[in-house]
Amino acid sequence: MRAYYMDDVDGSFTAPHNSGVSLDAGYLGKLGIQYQYNPDVEKVAVEQGYKNRDVIGISKEVLGEEEYQKKLDIFKVEHLHTDIEARLILDGSGYFDVRDRLQNNEKWIRIAVEKDDLIILPPGIFHRFTTDDNGYTRAMRLFTDEPKWQPYNRSNDIEKDPSHIEYLKSIGITV
Ligand code: KMT
Ligand code: NI
């Protein structure tokens, strides 16, 4: 895992966009993000109550060109969830981008993940995902008992409809 602030340079979304300013796991911890390398999945699942899981393969080869593009178009939209988002990278690599709420949710932090990285995003953090220039991510998604997977997209849902903000606040999520 490597984490850094993204640059503002135009160009392919799947390029690294590394501004040169690195961040460590300690900083991610301040944002409520948990990171483990090569974890004992069964242990984590018991400790944190992940009762369900699936495996998703994201590449042109696995999904076909059209489905692959469709998936990426969905994953790249900035959103949040009311549940945690726990992902163990099984193969390949990719980027989880998260907003830095300690900087007013303005800056993007790009978290480059690869095989054996476990990343757990807390509820309420704005984020998005993409494969990198290698174009392949295989990941295990860990779910709690009754996963609430509704994404709240920042621009269409949250910022245009105050009732979403009220609802999120009522369950302890401030944006
Ligand atoms: C999500 O919800 O954005 C994802 O699951 C991304 C793909 S998992 C590597
Ligand atoms: Ni998500």
Asked if residues 1 and 34 have their Cβ atoms less than 8 Å apart, the reply is: no
Q: What residue type is 111 in one-letter code? A: I
SS3 category, 123: coil
Q: How many CA atoms lie within 13 A of 122 on its CB side?
A: 16
Residues 100-152 have pLDDT tens digits of 999 999 999 999 999 999 999 999 999 999 999 999 999 999 998 765 667 88
The closest residue, in CA terms, to atom 5 on ligand 1 is 141
* Ligand 1 within 6 A of CB of 173: no
Domain of residue 55 covers 1-169
37 inside domain: yes
152 inside domain: yes
Q: Give the whole-angstrom CA distance, residue 14 versus residue 19.
A: 15
Residues 67-95 have pLDDT tens digits of 999 999 999 999 999 889 999 999 999 99
174 inside domain: no
165 inside domain: yes
23 inside domain: yes
pTM, two decimal places: 0.90
175 inside domain: no
Indicate the number of domains in the chain: 1
* Ligand 1 within 6 A of CB of 126: no
The closest residue, in CA terms, to atom 6 on ligand 1 is 129
DSSP 60-92: HHHH-HHHHHHHHHHHTS-EE-SS-EEEEEEEE
102 inside domain: yes
CATH number for the domain harbouring residue 31: 2.60.120.10
pLDDT in the model for residue 1? 98
117 inside domain: yes
